[in-house]
Structure 1
Amino acid sequence: MLPVRIFDFVLDALDGTLGAVQPEQGGALLGLRGQDVVTSFIHDPTARVTRIEYQNSQWLLDEITQREQSGVQRFKGIVHSHPARTPQPSYQDRHEFATALEANPELGRYIGPIVTHDGGSALGPHELRTSPGVRISFFCGTFDGPRFTLERMRPIRIPLRAAVERAGLPFPESTVQVLDDVQGVSVPLPDDLFGPCRHLFVTAHFPFTAPVVYALDSLDGAGVRALPWDLASPPVDRLAGALQSVLRTMNGVNGLPSPGGREANGTATTPPAPEGGEASVEAAPEAAAAPAEGGHRPLAPAGHAWPVAREAAASRATGPDTGTMPVSGALPDPGTRPAPGTPAAPGASAVPGRPARRGMLGRVGAWFGLTGRTSLGQALFARTGGLLSPALADRHVLLVGAGSVGSYLADVLVRSGVGRMTVVDPDRVEAANIGRSLFTAHDIGSPKANATARHLRNVHPGIRTRAWKASVDDIKPKHWRKTLPNVDLIIAATDDNAAQQRLNHLAYWFGKPAVFVGLYEGAAGGEVVFSRPSLPCWACSTGGVRETLGNLGMRPPTDYGTGRSFAVPGLLPDIQHVSSSGAKIALALLHDDAQDRITRFLAKPLAEHLPMVLMAMEPDHWFFPKVMENVPGQHAFQSIWVRTGPRPDCPVCGDEARRVDPLEYHGDAKDSATTEQMQQALRARRAVSGSGSR
């Protein structure tokens, strides 16, 4: 069951709105970019509601857009309430979830909790209770290939508000902000105790990773102090102990007010223990180190000053699970913060005169011209001006096969500026994949399609991605009909000849350019074939060549039952040599304007019908020594562009009367008898239809 982390002040907001009125009511959830972490709730008071129906308003959609554009939070999904004893999504809910996820494919998952007024029944592992009579059940929608699936999610309550109030401090919800560059939540600290403009910053793994206290100074950096963190103490008490220790060190004062929340009369109260299903607070990561002598975990050399760029690099390198953050010396006095309790406008700076929407590390990006999604998209073309067109941002690539070849191609195309990609692969990441692809150890067990899409969003958060965990045969004709008209290029990088043939047929039928990348035995050689309606199809280009390769033993062996190539040893540089050639051809096919330099790269191959490139990465490979024997300076990394032509009887690119709609049959491409029968039947239907129309 996938976890979803949600801050306790968001749960308080849900309890005080949806939990306080009769269903149905609802609103939007916002959170950290690229993570299943919820940091904000927007109630939709103008929604159209009845006792059994909730429909969000245009105001809510506009508010989500405004907050995403002016702030750093991202839309996560819609939460709404149901009548008692119906804590599960309805059929209409499933439809709405799927529609919203199709419109926002960059989400990856659509989070859709259900709030019900159920007081007595037991909680499931996907549920928690915000007050005695209010239950929240967590669900998420994803696309598994073209099929929409609904799953339960395990909620993890992040007790930030409880910990702050346990420390005897006020919790100013109106000024809670999500920092852009460092993923987390920032809470202002009282000026009278910590000095002006001090903030507490926590990540989604609080209270099991140490937060920091930071102060913003001028544009040249930020002062950061990591809190001493005692993992042996109760989770909700750790913050109080850490802040006490910092105050004694910084100011020589006795510490904080008495632990516990503050009522209006000043008396301290103990926050109630959170209630949940399996666990309401996350278990401590195994990577967390044991406390050092004195009960505090050593996080970095004391008194060490870290420049802001090094702090950013350190936080990215260690990741959210290690709990390590750098320690600086005394915090600088950066200026004056607005009076306590004064809310900051959405996206506005908390310090007068400071540029808006720049977090602790956000100014680093400003130094390099990276101030948002749009700017990053423009920056992708900063070093390719005149070579590639910014129009790539509107191009949609369908990538089938996300292994060592496909994942590399996806990475190159997105870094080159392609703005939309659908990734299809039926397999999951295995440890053996790490050495020859872009995947990391954290991806092991994840679907390759999802892991690739996640990597692409990390490269460019503005890209629109969609992941299908499916084989080519699993995808139904209706999904091809819906998807292919909106695709600008198809890339076939599978290890299955039948799948390559199917994609070849689909690409030609829908009039889409396509690139096919293949490797030979041991990655000592490879091929790149490209097609479009004016050229031969992949099958006609490769037919004779593949027969020759098979006779010479240079094709990788295939599994008799599946027809897929066995994984064989091959060097990553050789694999990427072939893949990079395919990437350049793909980029050329994505351009229409002859003024772009990349377009001229394919001018000769297109004019002379040279749609197949054969490559040798090793000396003495195949026929290359014979062909190149009189050419001086030859050793390896050779290529030859091959002239091919269509076969008149080809059902893909041959005579028009013999072509077959690939969506009208599902026969195995290797079964020529079945294919011929289908062709005859289709020709007969066309003949009858044609005579009738005359």
Structure 2
Amino acid sequence: MKIIPVNKEIVTLMLKESKTAKESGLETGGFLFGKLDRAKRTVLYATGPGPEAVRTPTFFEPDYGFSALEFTRLKKDNNFLKFVGIWHLHSVEGLSGGDIETLKRLDKSYPGFLSLVVSNNSMKIRAFCIEEGEVVERKLTLVKEKKSCLNFDRTQKLIKPSSLNKKAILSMGAGSGSSVATPYLARAGIREIALADPEKLEPTNLVRHLGTVGEIFEYKVDIIGKELKEIDPDIQLTLIREKLKEETAVKFKELFAKSDLILGSSGNISANRLTNEICLELKKPVVYAGVYQKAMGGFSFLSTGKENDPCFNCIFDYTSHGIDETNIEQEKAAKRYGFSVEELAEEQGLFIDISYVALLQAKMALLALLEGEEHQLAPLPGNFVSWNSRNMKTTWATIQKRKDCPVCNVEAYFASLESEVTK
């Protein structure tokens, strides 16, 4: 018999509601919410009947408005939440003919739909669903509370766990690279991670992003968040399902301020521009990463935020391109790479090759976070590394601050302009 994990609080709620209803001689019930994670159905929340429910000794209809509000409230912090079933008190230990018809009808819209029945006599809870057109019973088991069991015995001689477990990072972007880099950083001992990305996992993303078929159309930050919780249940997560732009910069700035390091993983020039400017203002280190055409290579670059160190614009000079997100500028960007806009959006690249770059970003971020801490890792050979997937080689360089950078060296920049004008 297949097992359905159920949250302990759900069992407590159903039994409490059922005992109260039994004393009053009325039926009761509610809705079940949970998650579908890699083909496994877990029941996490349940509602009661609601204040406007219709209840008689032989009939029950829940308060749909109340249940909808509860679902909306719960989904704010649990975006993965799905409608997975219903529960109700019943005079017999099983389903009535009407219950079976309802279950079959709902199973067509919600495959695997559950019906939990509480016996009015024994208070025993039984679970039923439809399989190959027939009603089958499923065994219930309580969801075990997960606790962190990370053991650093095999890494603590290299890095002291105390050096990282109070660090906080923010990943700007939750795409392919972030889905590789952040789990590695969690395994290294970072206990607080924020992820920001407005996109959902599309079918075309599946070949180069963390996630499964059952997670398609979920937000990427939620998918990575679930993975991080599986690694360390005690990890503190902040999931932001919106985009960094001029209108949201103030809100994001608060997240930057709380973070010890930023991962520039968006691959978007507008977002990287704002990330660069905010990090310079707050003097926050940021590690950018990106891949080249067809993922034939990529780069990772550490900008420390310190006065004498280079910023993102020192290398990529986005101020000279003025790239934004309009169609006209997308066409210009596409032409620079030799693509149409459609081809640029569908640019090829193996997850294996993207992952190499993400690992470089993660290692660079780790070493940046360990600055000033005692550890046995080799120091960074430079602040910029380029990876070539054709010859499987990395090239390190130390990029200097540009004397005429209009972002991190404004006075020198205007001085150079004045010099040009007076020539």
1:527 alignment partner in structure 2: 299
Residues 134-533 of structure 1: pairs in structure 2 closer than 5 A: 138-141=70-73, 154=83, 156-158=85-87, 165=93, 262=121, 284=130, 288-289=131-132, 373-374=147-148, 376-377=149-150, 379=151, 381-391=152-162, 392-473=164-245, 476-533=248-305
What is the letter of the counterpart of residue 541 of structure 1? I
Displacement of 1:9 after TM fit?
5.5
Q: Secondary structure at the match of 1:398?
A: strand
Q: Aligned partners of 1:393 and 1:112: how far apart in 2?
A: 37
Corresponding residue pairs, total: 361
2:385 alignment partner in structure 1: 613
1:163 to 1:19, Cα distance in 2 relative to 1, 3 A: closer
What is the letter of the counterpart of residue 537 of structure 1? C
Q: Is 1:13 matched up with 2:16?
A: yes
Q: Secondary structure at the match of 2:274?
A: helix
Q: Secondary structure at the match of 2:262?
A: strand
1:409 to 1:480, Cα distance in 2 relative to 1, 3 A: same
Superposition CA RMSD, Å:
5.0
1:640 alignment partner in structure 2: 395
Displacement of 1:478 after TM fit?
3.2
Q: Secondary structure at the match of 1:140?
A: helix
What is the letter of the counterpart of residue 11 of structure 1? M
Greater radius of gyration (CA) = 1
1:611 to 1:9, Cα distance in 2 relative to 1, 3 A: closer
Displacement of 1:583 after TM fit?
0.9
Q: Aligned partners of 1:409 and 1:555: how far apart in 2?
A: 28
1:396·1:487 contact (CA, 8 Å) conserved in 2? yes
Q: Aligned partners of 1:112 and 1:557: how far apart in 2?
A: 55
Displacement of 1:417 after TM fit?
1.7
1:514·1:530 contact (CA, 8 Å) conserved in 2? yes
**Per-residue deviation, residues 243-269 of structure 1 (Å, max 9, x unmatched):** xxxxxxxxxxxxxxxxx7548xxxxx9
Displacement of 1:444 after TM fit?
0.3
Q: How many percent identity over aligned positions?
A: 21
What is the letter of the counterpart of residue 73 of structure 2? G
Q: Aligned partners of 1:165 and 1:150: how far apart in 2?
A: 34
1:140·1:151 contact (CA, 8 Å) conserved in 2? no
Q: Secondary structure at the match of 2:364?
A: helix
Displacement of 1:566 after TM fit?
2.5
1:154 to 1:206, Cα distance in 2 relative to 1, 3 A: closer
2:169·2:193 contact (CA, 8 Å) conserved in 1? yes
Displacement of 1:472 after TM fit?
1.4
Displacement of 1:509 after TM fit?
1.4
**Per-residue deviation, residues 480-537 of structure 1 (Å, max 9, x unmatched):** 2322211011101123112112111111211111111111111111111111123200
1:638 to 1:506, Cα distance in 2 relative to 1, 3 A: same
1:141·1:150 contact (CA, 8 Å) conserved in 2? no
1:491·1:516 contact (CA, 8 Å) conserved in 2? yes
Q: Unmatched 5+ residue regions in structure 2?
A: 1-5, 24-33, 96-111, 322-333, 415-423
Q: Is 1:601 matched up with 2:356?
A: no
Q: Unmatched 5+ residue regions in structure 1?
A: 21-30, 39-75, 77-110, 129-135, 168-204, 209-234, 238-259, 264-268, 272-280, 298-322, 326-358, 363-370, 548-552, 619-635, 660-694
Q: Aligned partners of 2:133 and 2:202: how far apart in 1?
A: 31
Q: Secondary structure at the match of 1:568?
A: coil
Q: Aligned partners of 1:612 and 1:520: how far apart in 2?
A: 15
2:315 alignment partner in structure 1: 541
1:9 to 1:578, Cα distance in 2 relative to 1, 3 A: closer
1:65 alignment partner in structure 2: none
Displacement of 1:401 after TM fit?
1.6
Displacement of 1:158 after TM fit?
4.0
1:509·1:652 contact (CA, 8 Å) conserved in 2? no
**Per-residue deviation, residues 82-106 of structure 1 (Å, max 9, x unmatched):** xxxxxxxxxxxxxxxxxxxxxxxxx
2:249·2:274 contact (CA, 8 Å) conserved in 1? no
2:244·2:252 contact (CA, 8 Å) conserved in 1? no
What is the letter of the counterpart of residue 508 of structure 1? L
